Structure formats: structure tokens, C-alpha cells
Amino acid sequence: MTLVKTTFGRRSFLKSTVLAGGGMMLGFSWLASCNPTAEQIKKMPKEWFNINGFLKIGENGLVTIMSPNPEIGQNVKTSMPMLVAEELDIDWNDVIVEQAPLNTDIFTRQLAGGSQAIRHGWQGLRMAGATARRMLQEAAAQVWNVPADEIMTEKGVLIHKESGHSAGYGEMASAAAKIPVPKEVELKDIKDFIIIGTSRKNVDAKKIVTGQPLYGLDYKKDGMYVAMITQPPAFGMKLKSYNDSIAKSMPGIKDVFTINTYSEDYDQQWSDTSAFTELVVVVGNSTWEVMNAKKSLTFEWEPISESSTEIDFFGNKMNIHTPSGLENTTTHKELMSQFGAKAGKVLRKDGDPEKAFKEATTIIERTYSAPFLAHNTMEPMNFFADVTADKAELVGPIQTPEFMEKTVAARLGLPLEKVDIMMTRMGGGFGRRLYGHFLVEAAVISQKIQAPVKLVYTREDDMTNGVYRPAYHATYRAALDAENNLIGFHVRAGGIPESPIAANRFPAGAVENYLAEEWTINSNITVGAFRAPRSNFIAGAEQSFLDELAEVVGKDPIDFRLELLALAKKNPIGENNDYDADRYAGVLELVRDKSGWGKEQTSQSRGVSAYFCHNSYVAQVLDLQMEAGKPVINKVYCAIDCGIVVNPDAATNLAEGGIVDGIGHALFSSQTFNNGIPEKSNFDKYRLIRHSEAPKSIEVHFVKNEIDPTGLGEPPFPPIMGAVANALYKATGKRFYNQPLMENIQSVLG
């Protein structure tokens, strides 16, 4: 067993309370580490007051466990409480899970992003369950007058074999709440897990399939109005004037007015990203009435001026430059080609790459690109707000509630404690709901009309509002000697307006002469995190290049990668390599074995890819065949090393979703611009993968180890794009370098 402390000196993690009716409530800092750093200790308050992150044990033995993080489909509302229940030793059937409210006093990372929820909560959540279990044992020991260490627990029952005593948790809950919180508790050995590592159904599954209200769009309140916004039609434009005479006279319309999302003196956070901050708002009784009134508005727009904004990026100040002008996709491509041909900012340099390329017998150079992408969540942006003179109540789908609470308080001029954000389940996010301008807009609208309101974006509003995945461009070069040994590796990558490169990832550390450079191009098109930020492009480009390089040197693609990883393990170059070569090789070996790689495939074309991001390792093999000029994907094999898997079925589902999502974006998706206007405003033009185009079968295999859990929501997404490209080459004999790949296929094959 592992012994962990529940306190930092006098700084308490946990407090207990007797509930009315005889139950027990244990409040705790949900995501606090059991192994704090000196800096973390310094930041801890002396005591926790008003704690509402808790587990409750009722007098009947039922246990309520609060889930603090936003639920975006990644299943944390099920898997995080499983960690508590495991150490509490409760029957999962006796657990009720509730969404916790926002509380920045006790939750250190109450957001959905970065695939970090389980990783950060692994020890703290288990500690909370173990602490409650120990307090129940202590209470029973006092009642039965026996040593607490002799009392066993099993599925919510306390048992003392020697005396024959037994009692359900509910019977001892009230007494346990009076027991002092122990200074340290023991966590279970991994071999003793009963709940962790077993598949448990999504706690919201029945509500989802029966259509019960879970999502922001479902939320209603008596007296609530509906609001919609109109934004400029093009990036690089702003509102000059508008005419609302017809709209105001239409049935059911309360008002039409303009708002500014952020005040001029507000210091913006990274999560306040917004393309259009001056908006025209229509408020009315129903969605239909507001939509019709919105269509009757007429506008005059004018160009924006060049500007710079300083934002707070997790405590660091960043300057965001916004150029004027109306941008075009054709110009974007030309600029990226020009920048990609010039020397960039050096991020990493090992050995003497210039000499290696000068002396090389063969140089391989390939360039890859990818377009802007819209997130296209199933549930468009929306939020409910009820703002009065002394408080703000907000309800809706948001990935960053703790950041948006600060923004709303500052914008409305309210104390932080007077802002209450309730999280609903989200109908998709993929990074889009990290940026909560729509929440602020709803709050400002409610404050202005002095009534509760639900702001709803149309699909067109959503798809043309920005916060896209950036456009990217990368050039790879490899230097080979006369024996086809890899003696130099060079990557130069950039984008609009950010670079996708991660300079310390593989094959850095495996090549003696290595150079990584980056460049960027400013834009007035707003961008933000997209599932597996930056990795979602660079993984596919890198893995496509490695495949082509393997072919040039005459080696099997998997063997070639494994040889490089063996070099990185045996004699690593540099000191900042951010991957474990053993674990990386492990997923390649597992997917090779499970897919039967190397066996004769008469009708299938196979592609392989592997990548490390968000602390996890993923390798994939994809089988496809061409039918009538289109790829038909028959099977994907996926191997993942993400440490201990908490909920296998849910983890498999998450991997499958990432694979299908990645295939779709690689083949079909792009957002293009003409004079600043997004050319694709709905699904009739913006192409997403269809059900019939998804793989017919997906096998997911997890590496079994006892490493603490790492990320899973994002890691399966990036490498599949490389596997698609590599399989297409085998099927067509052509290499495709620019996404979306189907446009390349159609232009080459007709």
C-alpha cells in the first residue's frame, strides 16, 4: 500500500460534517496532490471554509460523489468518481454522481482541456475515498470497542470477523463525521483494485438516450427571453451602422441593441479570445421569432484598424497583434510557402546539421500543409444568464468555468463571489468551448435587459465566428550518407498565426545532427486550441515523412521507427527529449503484433503511424482499399500506452471517437476565406466524415502497466492522419502532402 498525507501541516485537505438525518459529508480539495511541492504548500490556505467539493454518505448507505470537471463527452463524470469509490470500497451500484458547481476556492483545475483530468486527480481523488473509509473504520472501532486496523470493508459494509460485528456505511456515517480527519491514509495496491480497471456505464447514459435535459440548449427558466447576435460577415470588418426598424415591429421582439463584449479597460485572459466584440443583439420571446427578426436587419460595415492587445496567458503577458485587411486562402498559401522557404527561429540544434546536409549523398525534402478548421460541435454555442444588481447566475456548456468567472465579474462590475456558473453537459467542444466570449455576451445582454436570457448561436453564427484551428505548413529534410544512413534531420514549420512544432519530440534525440525551426504569420482570423493542439497537424506530417524516408532507405516503416527509437534509448542526443523511447517503441510493437503487420495483404493497403502527446503514446495501423476513386477504410488497429486505464470501455470509446474524428478531418475538412468571408457556413459546404465513411472496424489495445494514468482524450487523434496518408500511398502509388486529402486524391485520380 501507498501511505499518503491528507494535510500539509495545519493546512487541511479535508473536513467532515454530520448531515441532517445521520449521514456524513466529507469536503475535500478534489485535485490536490498527495505529494505537494513547496510552492503548492505555500499557496494552501490554513483551513478550507465553505467546502462543497465532497462525497456524502447517507444514513441508508447511498454515496453521492461530486464530479468537478466539465463533462464534454470524455466521460470524466464517470471515471473521476470511480477513483473515489475504489478507495472508499463502496458498491458502485450505491453511488450517485452529481455535477459539482464551480468553486475556485477548492478546485485547482476545474476545466476540460489538455487530457489532464484523470492524470491530475489520480492521487487526490483516491485519497478522499481512502480518508472517508478510514474514518468509518475508526467510528466502528469506537462503537464496537475493537482495533480499527482489524475492521475490514467490502462494498460499503464494515466487518470485524473476530467479534462478528458488521454494519453498513450508512449506520456509521454520523459517528464517522465526528472522527478527526486522519493525518495520513493508505491507498490500495493496484492489484487490489475492484472498480478501477473495470468497465462502468456512463452515469448520464440513460438520461442521454431518453432525451432528458442535460445540455445548455435544454435549459429553461420562467420569464426567460431568447437572444441572438449578428456579427460582421468578414474578418477584418466591424460594425458601422444598422437599421432595426422592421425587426423591432415584428411579433415577439423585445428589443434590438448593440453590445461590446469586453470593456476597453479590461485586461483580457487567453480564454477571452473573440473575433467580433461589437455585436448587434435581437431579444425576443422565442427562437423562431428572434431568427426572423434577425433576418430583417440591414447593416453597414467598415474595415478594422491594425491593433495590438496584451493578454494574460497563465500568468505570462503576451502581445497579440491583429493586422487590418481582408484575407484570402490563396494569399495564405502563398505566404506560407514564402515563409517556409526562409530560415526560421531556431528552437533546437544538435550537432552540425549544416555540415551533415552539405556532405550528404542524398537529401530528401517534402512539404506538408493543412487548412484552417472549424470545431463544428454538435451543440452550437449557447448560454443562459440571469444578471441582477447584486449577482449573476449563469448556466451552460463551458470548458473553462473558472477563467470565465473572472471575466464575467470584471465585465459586470460584480465581486467574484457574486458570480455563479453552473456547468451543463456539453454537446461537443474539441477546444471551442475553452473560449467563453458567448458566456460573457449572454451576461451583458441579461444585464442590459434586466431579465433572464438564453443566448443561442445559429450554426452559421458558430461556423463563421472564428476561434479556428490554425492553418499550418511544414517542410522536412533528411540527409543520407552513401550507405543510406540517416545523418541529418531538419524540420521547419509554421502557420497562421502559430507554429505547430514541438522541437523536443521524436525524432529529436535519435539523430546526431538535428535542426528545428519555426515561423509565424499574423492574422485577424481568430484561432484557438483544437483537439490535440498543434499535434493534430505535425503528427501526420512527421509520420508521412518518416514513412517516405523509410522507403528511400529500403526499410520496413515500423522497423525504421524502432531503429531510431533504439538509438534514442541507447545513446540519446540532447537533454530535453520529452518522450520515453521504451514506451514509444512499446506501442509500435504492440500494434505490429495485433495487426499482423508484415503478413500478406492482397486486397488491403496498410499505413502505420505513431505519436507521443499529452503524456501518452499511440500507434495505429490502418487498412483501406480504393473503390471508385474513394478510400474505403476497413479496419484500424490502435495501441495506446496511457498508463493505468480507469474505465476500459469508456477509454476504448474515446479512442474510437478520436480515430474517426481524425480520419474525417484529414480527408475532408477545411475552412476557406474570400476577402475575409468564411466561405463555409454550414454543413452543406463544410465537409465532415459521414457514418458510411467511418472505419468498418476499430480494435483498441492498451499497454498493461502500473504507470499512473496520463492523457487519453487527445492522443489517439493526431497519428491517425499519418496512417491515412501512408495507406493512401500504398493504395494509389501517389503521395499526398496537403490536407484535406480528398481534394488531392480527386485532382490526381479524377
Check whether 650 has a pLDDT greater than 70: yes
Q: DSSP characters for 396-431?
A: E--S-HHHHHHHHHHHHT--GGGEEEEEPB-S--TT
Count CB-CB contacts under 10 A for residue 259: 18
**619/718 Cα distance (integer angstroms):** 10
Confidence category of residue 38, pLDDT binned at 50, 70, 90: low
Q: In the prediction, which pLDDT does 32 show?
A: 54
- Specify whether the CB–CB gap between 498 and 534 falls below 8 A: yes
Confidence category of residue 587, pLDDT binned at 50, 70, 90: very high
Q: In the prediction, which pLDDT does 36 show?
A: 55
Sequence ranges of the chain with CATH classification 3.30.365.10: 2-196, 221-307+375-463, 334-373+468-749
Confidence category of residue 22, pLDDT binned at 50, 70, 90: confident
Q: DSSP characters for 436-455?
A: -HHHHHHHHHHHHHTS-EEE
Amino acid identity at 83: L
List, for residues 314-352, the tens digit of each pLDDT value. Answer: 889 999 999 999 999 999 999 999 999 999 999 999 999
Taking the CA atoms of 367, 368, 371 and 375 in sequence, report the sign of the dihedral they define. negative
Q: In the prediction, which pLDDT does 83 show?
A: 95
Q: DSSP characters for 279-334?
A: EEEEEESSHHHHHHHHHT-EEEEEEPPPEEEEEEETTEEEEEEE--S---HHHHHH
Closest CA to 710 of 638, 651, 663: 651
List, for residues 129-147, the tens digit of each pLDDT value. Answer: 999 999 999 999 999 999 9
Q: In the prediction, which pLDDT does 612 show?
A: 98
**52/29 Cα distance (integer angstroms):** 9
Provide the β-strand partners of residue 625: 632
The mean pLDDT of 399-425, rounded to a whole number, is 95
**114/711 Cα distance (integer angstroms):** 8
Tell me, letter by letter, the H, E, C secondary structure of 689-700: CCHHHCCCEEEE
Confidence category of residue 68, pLDDT binned at 50, 70, 90: confident
Closest CA to 436 of 380, 383, 477: 383
Check whether 30 has a pLDDT greater than 80: no
Tell me, letter by letter, the H, E, C secondary structure of 240-253: EEEECHHHHCCCCE
List, for residues 718-744, the tens digit of each pLDDT value. Answer: 999 999 999 999 999 999 999 999 998
**291/284 Cα distance (integer angstroms):** 9
The mean pLDDT of 76-91, rounded to a whole number, is 96
Q: In the prediction, which pLDDT does 43 show?
A: 47
- Specify whether the CB–CB gap between 426 and 216 falls below 8 A: yes
b/e for 698-708, b at 16 or more Cβ within 10 A? bbbbbbeeeee
Provide the β-strand partners of residue 499: none
Q: In the prediction, which pLDDT does 10 show?
A: 45
Burial class (CB in 10 A: 0-12, 13-18, 19+), 594: middle
Confidence category of residue 53, pLDDT binned at 50, 70, 90: low
Q: Which residues contact 25 (CB under 8 A, 6 or more apart)?
A: 16, 17, 18, 19, 54, 55, 56, 57, 177
334-373+468-749 CATH fold: Aldehyde Oxidoreductase; domain 4 (3.30.365)
Q: In the prediction, which pLDDT does 438 show?
A: 98
**422/412 Cα distance (integer angstroms):** 18
Q: DSSP characters for 45-57?
A: -SS--S---EEEE
List, for residues 543-574, the tens digit of each pLDDT value. Answer: 999 999 999 999 999 999 999 999 999 999 99
Q: Where are the beta strands (DSSP E) in 470-513?
A: 471-480, 486-496
b/e for 356-385, b at 16 or more Cβ within 10 A? bbeebeeebebbbbbbbbbbbbebbbbbbb
Angstrom CA distances, 396 to 212, 245, 382, stand at 15, 32, 7
List, for residues 468-501, the tens digit of each pLDDT value. Answer: 999 999 999 999 999 999 999 999 999 999 999 9
Check whether 45 has a pLDDT greater than 60: no
Q: In the prediction, which pLDDT does 3 show?
A: 80
8-state DSSP, 589 = H
Q: In the prediction, which pLDDT does 41 show?
A: 44
The separation between CA 366 and the C-alpha centre of its own chain, rounded to angstroms, equals: 30
Q: In the prediction, which pLDDT does 678 show?
A: 98
- Specify whether the CB–CB gap between 497 and 521 falls below 8 A: yes
CATH of 221-307+375-463 given 2.40.128.50, 3.30.950.10, 3.40.50.300, 3.30.365.10: 3.30.365.10
Check whether 288 has a pLDDT greater than 60: yes
The mean pLDDT of 581-599, rounded to a whole number, is 97
Q: In the prediction, which pLDDT does 274 show?
A: 95
The mean pLDDT of 76-80, rounded to a whole number, is 95
C-alpha cell at position 88: 472508499
Closest CA to 558 of 544, 547, 569, 549: 547
Q: In the prediction, which pLDDT does 39 show?
A: 53
Residue 45 C-beta-side C-alpha neighbours within 13 Å: 13
Check whether 162 has a pLDDT greater than 90: yes
The mean pLDDT of 397-414, rounded to a whole number, is 96
- Specify whether the CB–CB gap between 111 and 401 falls below 8 A: yes
- Map grid coordinates 458510411 to a residue: 692
Check whether 80 has a pLDDT greater than 60: yes
Count CB-CB contacts under 10 A for residue 521: 19
Angstrom CA distances, 571 to 166, 469, 565, 567, 624, stand at 59, 37, 10, 6, 37
Residue 311 C-beta-side C-alpha neighbours within 13 Å: 16
The mean pLDDT of 400-425, rounded to a whole number, is 95
The CATH class, in words, for 2-196 is: alpha beta
**473/58 Cα distance (integer angstroms):** 57
C-alpha cell at position 512: 546526431
The mean pLDDT of 436-445, rounded to a whole number, is 98
β-sheet with 630-641: strand ranges across: 605-613, 616-627, 630-641, 697-702
Tell me, letter by letter, the H, E, C secondary structure of 110-164: CCCCCCCHHHHHHHHHHHHHHHHHHHHHHHHHHHHCCCHHHCEEECCEEEECCCC
**283/527 Cα distance (integer angstroms):** 28
Helix (H) or strand (E) holding 635: strand 630-641
Check whether 242 has a pLDDT greater than 50: yes
Check whether 34 has a pLDDT greater than 90: no
**365/490 Cα distance (integer angstroms):** 9
Amino acid identity at 487: I
Range of weakest confidence among 91-95, 179-183, 452-456: 179-183
Mean pLDDT over the full length of the chain: 93
The mean pLDDT of 34-47, rounded to a whole number, is 48
Provide the β-strand partners of residue 702: 640
Q: In the prediction, which pLDDT does 15 show?
A: 80
List, for residues 245-278, the tens digit of each pLDDT value. Answer: 999 999 999 999 999 999 988 889 999 999 999 9
The mean pLDDT of 663-667, rounded to a whole number, is 98
C-alpha cell at position 344: 526560421
Predicted TM-score (pTM) above 0.75: yes
The three-state secondary structure class of 259 is strand
Closest CA to 678 of 372, 376, 300: 372
β-sheet with 24-28: strand ranges across: 14-18, 24-28, 54-57, 63-67, 95-99
List, for residues 102-113, the tens digit of each pLDDT value. Answer: 887 766 678 888
Q: In the prediction, which pLDDT does 52 show?
A: 40
